[in-house]
Chain A
Amino acid sequence: MAPEDLKLAEKNAATSPQTKSKEGVLLVGMDLGCYKTSVAATNGSREHVHSIVGWPKDPIARKMIGKDVVFGNEAYHHRLALETIRPFEKGALKYTDSQDAGVPKERLARYKEAARELVRHAVHLCRPPKGTLVHGVIGAPAKASIVNKQQLIEACKGIFDSVMIVSEPFAVGYGMNMLEDCLVVDIGAGTTDLCRMHGTMPEEDDQITVTIAGDYVDEYATNLIKKAHPTSQFTVNMVRDAKERFSFVHEVNDKGLVTWPDKDGHPTEYDITGQLKEACRQLVPPIVQGLRKLVSTYDAEFQKRMLNNILLAGGGSQLRGLDRLIEEDLKQYGGGRVTRVPEPVYAGANGALKLATDMPDDYWTEVK
C-alpha cells in the first residue's frame, strides 16, 4: 500500500463509526421549527434558537461581527448587516412546495445550506463530546411530502450519524405519554398539525396539516394594522413581538398598546388590541374544523374520550384563551377538555428525544 493510501486509510479509520462508537452515543431530539428550533439531548442539554441564519453581506460586516455565519438572536439583531434566511419560513423545505413558500428557484440551494447550518448549530448547542456518535430524531409536519422529508434528511447529512424523521404531533403525544384516544394540536409558525392518537402509529387519515399558523397570523395582523393605523411605521418582526406580548383570542380586558414611530419618525402610541385579536382568531376555525373532522371519523364509542383529551402544543398554544375558545366550540359535540403542554417550546424536542432514547440500538444502524 502506498504511503498516501495508508494515510488515507488511517484517516478513514479514525473517523469510522467503529472507532467513534467507542466514545459513546449522544441522542438528540430536534424540533426544526419555522420560527424556533429546539433541541434536547441525552446529556441534559436543552436549547432553543430562532430559526434564522445570517451571512455577513461584505468584509466590513464580517469584521464587525467576527463570524462567517450567525444564528438566532444574533442574526436577528444584526440582520441589516447580514444576508438572513429563515430556511423553514412558511413551511418552506419542511412542508410546502417551495413555490408556495415564496422561495425563488435560484435561492433554493442557499435555503438548503441555511437549513444545514442551522441543524449543525443546533447539534453544536448540545455540546457532543469529540468522537461521539450522534443519533437524532427530527420532527416533520404531519403531512410533509417525500421531497420535504428528503430535504430534512439532506440537511442532517454529515451532522448526525443516523437520523429518523417522525411526525411532529406524534412526537409531542409520545413525549407526553398520551398515545390513546387523544388529539394533539401542534401550532407552529409555518404549520398547524393535528394528529389523532389511538394507540397505534398514526396513519395518513389520522393527521391533518394546515398552513394557517403563526406566520399567517403575523401577516394578517400586519395588514390589519396597516389599514387601521396608516401613519404608523412597523415591520412584521415588530408585529410578531407585539403578538408574543399581547396575543389573546378570548374576551379579556388587556389592551395591546405599542409605541411605534409615525410617518415623521415620532414615537407614537397605537392601540392594536382589536387587530391582534382578530388576527389570532384566524387560527381557531381551521383547528376546530380539523378537530371536528378527526373526531367525527373516529369510532363513535371513543369520540367522547377523545374530545376530553385534546392537547395543545407549539408556540401558538401560548395564545391566551385559545383553549377556552376551542372548548366553547366543542360544546356542540357535547363538550371537550383542552390542555396545554407544560413546555410548548420543548414539547416537540422532548418527544423526539424520548423516541430516540426508546429506539433499540440496532435500529440506528439500519437507517445509517
Chain B
Amino acid sequence: MPESPAGQPDPPERESRMIDVRGMIKQASTRVRVDQLVKKGTKYLSLLSKEKIDELINQAVKNIVDKYRAVAAGVGDVPTETLQGEAKQEFNELLGQYQATNKAKNELELTKQNLDKELEDLRADLAKQKEIASGKAIEQAEHALVVGFKEFERELDRIVVRVFEKRKMILEQSESPETVAELDQIREKLRKMISDLVGLERHRFALAGGDARDMQIAMMEKRIEKLYEQIQAMENALRTISNSKLYSNQQLQNLLRQLGLVTDDKYFEKKREMLKVVLQQNLDLRKRIKELDGGDSNGAAPQAVDKPAVV
C-alpha cells in the first residue's frame, strides 16, 4: 500500500533521488478506503512506505549501473531491455531482503519479550533462593528440619523403651534384680547412643542441603549472566536492524555470530552463488526437457538393441 495517510504531507524530496518514484506511484495508484477493502474480505495488508520503495528502486538501479561501470562496459552500451530486466530483478531481490529483514526484526522483538519474561521469573526464583541463603527464610527451614528430626528421635526412643519394658517384664519374673538393673543401664546407654546418632545425622543433612542450595544459586546466577549477554546482543542486533541500510550487514553478521546464530563459513557467499547456479541449471534443464518432449513425442531417450544388462 504505497499511499500515505490522508492529509499527511509527503516528506521533502532528497537531492540524490534518481527517479521521481513517489510521483510515479501517486500517478499510477488508486486510492481505496480501508473499509472498502474489509468489505471485499481483505484481512491483512502489507504496508511499504513510498520512501522505502523509492530507496529500493534507486538502490536497484544504482547497483546495476555500478555493475556495468565495474566491468567497464558503460551503461550506454547495454540494451535498455537488459537494464530494465536486471533493475527489476534487483528491485525484487532488494524487496525480498527488506521483507525478510522486517520479519526477522519482528521475530527478534518477540524473542526479546519472551527472554525478558523468563529473566523476570529467574530473578524472582533467585531472590527467593538468596533469601533462604541469607537467613531470612533459613530459620523457617531450620525449624522444619529440627522438628522433623525431633519427631524421628522421639519415635525411635519410644520403640526402644517399649522393647526394653517387655524384656524387663520377662526378666522380673525369671531372673535376679541385678540382671534387671543391668538391663536398665543398657537401655539408658542405648537411648543416648540413638540420640547422638540422630543429632549427627541432622547436622550432616543440614550441611548437605546448604551445599546443594549454594550450587543451585551459582548455576542460576550463571544462567542469568548468559541470558543478560544474549539480551544485550539481541538488543544490539535489533538496533542495527532498525538503522541498517540493506547492504551494510557486516555488523549484523557479527552480532548474529555472537548470538550463535551464524556459523563461520569462509565459503558462505560462494555457496550462496553456487546454489543459485544449481537452481538456474535445474530450471534450464526442465525447460529443455519440456522443449525436448514437445519436439519428440515418441520419447527422446536413445535406445538400442544389444545384450541386456540383466544380472
Contacts and interface: CB of A to CB of B under 8 A. Distances in A.
A105 B285 contact: no
Interface stretch (A86-94, A271-279, A332-340): A86-94
Interface in B233-292: 267, 270-271, 273-275, 277-279, 281-283, 285-286, 288-289, 292
Contacts of A84: 310-311
B282 A355 contact: no
A101 B303 CA distance: 10
Nearest to B289: A150
Contacts of A192: none
B171 interface: no
Contacts of B301: 98, 108, 147, 150-151
B303 A237 contact: no
Nearest to A92: B309
Contacts of A153: 285-286, 289
Given A150-B292, A201-B278, A98 B303 contact: yes
A358 B277 CA distance: 13
Nearest to A107: B308
Interface string A197-239: 0011100000000000000000000000000000000000100
A269 interface: no
B302 A86 contact: no
Contacts, number: 112
A35 to B, nearest CB: 11
B310 A363 contact: no
A201 B282 contact: no
A52 B282 CA distance: 27
A83 interface: yes
Given A79-B311, A98-B303, 4 more contacts: A107-B308, A153-B286, A180-B267, A359-B279
Interface in B36-59: none
Interface of B: 267, 270-271, 273-275, 277-279, 281-283, 285-286, 288-289, 292, 300-311
Nearest to A199: B270
A201 B285 contact: no
B292 to A, nearest CB: 6
Interface string A145-171: 011011101000000000011100000
Nearest to B306: A102
Contacts of B292: 146-147, 150
Contact of A179 (B267, B281, B285): B267
B94 to A, nearest CB: 16
A104 B308 contact: yes
Nearest to A179: B267
B306 A99 contact: yes
A367 interface: yes
A179 B270 contact: yes
Which 9 pairs of residues, A with B, have the shortest CB-CB distance? A99-B304, A201-B277, A105-B303, A89-B309, A97-B302, A102-B306, A84-B311, A363-B279, A164-B282
A83 B310 contact: yes
Given A108-B303, A200-B273, A101 B278 contact: no
